[in-house]
């Protein structure tokens, strides 16, 4: 054998060895997909969720991983582009072979990926409040359904603030549209006149709020106590709140209760004009519990930044991740069908000092918190309910009031009609 042939043989052996090591490494890890916008209009909210997922995965690996293997995050950026979410989800499942995906923020992105998860039989944990009217076998909704956020928020406005008129102000996409449809029906059922409900939508990234805020001010100046229920999403919130301040709208005159503004969004705003305005979530950083204090400490240590805030979707991601870990441990495998069987009924600690349970409708139990914005960008919690079970189908819409979801066998149905006794097929 000449030197050249010998050298080629050594190189081939080294390459095969390298491939074997790489393959062994891949087999010794469990891949976890992280599907959040790191650019575009939703990056203001979603980047933090990517960061908290990396922290949770890192912490789990320090505990020894899962099923004796390390967790390996696979992070992609769908760039606030709803069709791109579906493409990236397909890549994560088919190409990267992830065991589960944690991601999405807007309902448009979730609805974009839903058929992909159902077709490829994978699992998505969705950590943000949403409009309900959906229940998929392959999705776990760890954010709030309308009865865990929107409806308790307007109840608070009516009962505690004496509000008689409502401006339902939202970004023009599915979550605000469906939530406001539910809220309008609910308010009318509570005796609010249709003329006392004003609904308005603006595009993603909207910035010229002068005319819209002037219309809110005019509507609120007609003799009845008025409030704004905000389903404005993403970076449009910054100029919206700024314009409220510019036009002198104070919380004591026309309070705003927001469903998509938390500590992360406030960290980029001048909060002085916002003091007293409200948000409804299932968690605030200001929750005073030992487990929350520890979570915040870990977050600051991981990010190496004591000024990084926590927020509600982070807690929802925390709950979803820990529930998945517990279900995988119980199943002894990451196999989708077996995890789907073991996860229902799983309870894990939330950050408010209680537990959140995964229910048969793939929603979880959560307390409802109402918070007032403080000048330091935090929330003073003015009301907290006991744990509420997420309601996937609204009791206030005629097409869904008779529907329930139960993904346990033998029913395994996302939209079972209790009057006809029939399953309508897929739950979404």
- Tens of pLDDT, residue by residue, the chain (428 residues): 443 333 334 333 433 333 333 333 446 899 999 999 999 999 988 999 999 999 999 999 999 999 999 999 999 999 999 999 999 999 999 999 999 999 999 999 999 999 999 999 999 999 999 999 999 999 999 999 999 999 999 999 999 999 999 999 999 999 999 999 999 999 999 999 999 999 999 999 999 999 999 999 999 999 999 999 999 988 899 899 999 999 999 999 999 999 988 888 888 788 888 899 999 999 999 999 999 999 999 999 999 999 999 999 999 999 999 999 999 999 999 999 999 999 999 999 999 999 999 999 999 999 999 999 999 999 999 999 999 999 999 999 999 999 999 999 999 999 999 999 999 876 65
Q: Examine the domain organization and report whether 57 and 129 are in the same domain.
A: yes
Domain-located, residue 306? no
- Structural domain includes residue 356: yes
Question: What does the DSSP 8-state code read for residue 234?
Answer: G
**Which residues lie below 8 Å from residue 180, measured CB to CB, with a gap of 6+?**
168, 170, 199, 229, 231
Report yes or no on 44 lying in a domain. Answer: yes
Full-model pTM: 0.87
Helix, strand or coil for residue 284? coil
Distances (CA, A) of 300 to 284, 293, 307, 315: 16, 11, 8, 15
Would residue 262 count as lying in a domain? yes
Question: Has residue 8 been placed in a domain?
Answer: no
Contact 121, 94 (CB under 8 A): no
Residue 254 counted as domain residue: yes
Residues 326, 338 within the same domain: yes
151 lies in the same domain as 97: no
C-alpha 101/C-alpha 125 separation (Å) is 6
**198 plus 81 within the same structural domain:** no
236 lies in the same domain as 380: yes
Domain count, the chain: 2
Domain match, 229 and 206 both: yes
Based on the domain organization, do 179 and 131 belong to the same domain? no
Q: How far is 406 from 82, CA to CA, in rounded Å?
A: 28
Q: What is the structure's pLDDT at 235?
A: 86
If asked whether residues 234 and 251 sit together in one domain, one would say: yes
The verdict on 271 and 359 lying in the same domain is no
Is the distance from CB of 231 to CB of 259 less than 8 angstroms?
Answer: yes
Give the pLDDT score at 21: 33
Domain that holds residue 63: 29-144+311-367
**Residue 280: its H or E element:** strand 278-281
Is the residue at 12 inside a domain?
A: no
Residue 423 lies in a domain: no
Residue reference for tokens 């980029």: 268
Q: Which H or E run contains 18? A: helix 3-27
189's tokens:
């059922």
Q: Domain check: are 231 and 247 in the same one? A: yes
> Looking at residue 197, which CATH number applies to its domain?
3.40.50.2300
Over residues 125-137, the pLDDT tens digits come to 999 999 999 999 9
Same structural domain, 137 and 152:
no
Same domain, 383 and 249: yes
């Amino acid at each position: 054998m000449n030197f050249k042939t010998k050298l080629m043989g050594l190189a081939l052996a080294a390459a095969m060895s390298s491939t074997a090591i790489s393959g062994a490494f891949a087999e010794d890890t469990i891949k976890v997909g992280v599907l959040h916008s790191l650019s575009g209009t939703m990056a203001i909210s979603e980047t933090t969720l990517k960061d908290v997922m990396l922290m949770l995965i890192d912490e789990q690996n320090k505990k020894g991983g899962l099923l004796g293997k390390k967790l390996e995050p696979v992070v992609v950026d769908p760039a606030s582009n709803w069709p791109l979410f579906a493409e990236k989800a397909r890549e994560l499942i088919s190409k990267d072979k992830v065991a589960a995906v944690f991601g999405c923020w807007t309902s448009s992105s979730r609805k974009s990926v839903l058929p992909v998860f159902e077709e490829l039989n994978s699992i998505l944990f969705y950590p943000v409040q949403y409009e309900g009217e959906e229940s998929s076998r392959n999705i776990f909704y760890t954010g709030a359904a309308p009865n865990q956020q929107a409806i308790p928020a307007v109840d608070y406005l009516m009962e505690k603030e004496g509000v008689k008129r409502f401006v339902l102000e939202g970004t023009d996409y599915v979550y605000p549209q469906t939530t406001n449809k539910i809220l309008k029906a609910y308010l009318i059922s509570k005796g609010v006149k249709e003329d006392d409900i004003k609904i308005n939508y603006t595009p993603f990234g909207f910035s010229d709020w002068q005319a819209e805020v002037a219309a809110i001010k005019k509507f609120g100046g007609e003799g009845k106590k008025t409030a704004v229920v905000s389903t404005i999403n993403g970076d449009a919130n910054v100029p919206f709140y700024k314009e409220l301040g510019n036009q002198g709208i104070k919380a004591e005159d026309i309070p705003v209760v927001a469903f998509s503004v938390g500590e992360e969004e406030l960290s980029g705003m001048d909060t002085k004009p916002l003091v007293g305005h409200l948000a409804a979530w299932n968690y605030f950083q200001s929750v005073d519990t030992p487990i929350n204090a520890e979570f915040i400490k870990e977050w600051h240590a991981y990010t190496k930044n004591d000024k990084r805030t926590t927020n509600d979707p982070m807690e929802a991601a925390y709950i979803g991740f820990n529930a998945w870990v517990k279900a995988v441990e119980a199943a002894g495998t990451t196999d989708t069908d077996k995890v789907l069987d073991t996860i229902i009924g799983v309870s894990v600690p939330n950050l408010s000092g209680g537990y959140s349970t995964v229910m048969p409708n793939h929603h979880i139990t959560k307390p409802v918190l109402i918070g007032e914005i403080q000048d330091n960008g935090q929330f003073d919690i003015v009301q907290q309910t006991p744990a509420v079970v997420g309601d996937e189908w609204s009791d206030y819409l005629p097409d869904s009031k008779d529907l329930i979801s139960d993904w346990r066998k033998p029913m395994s149905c996302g939209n079972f009609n209790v009057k006809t006794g029939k399953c309508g097929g897929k739950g979404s």
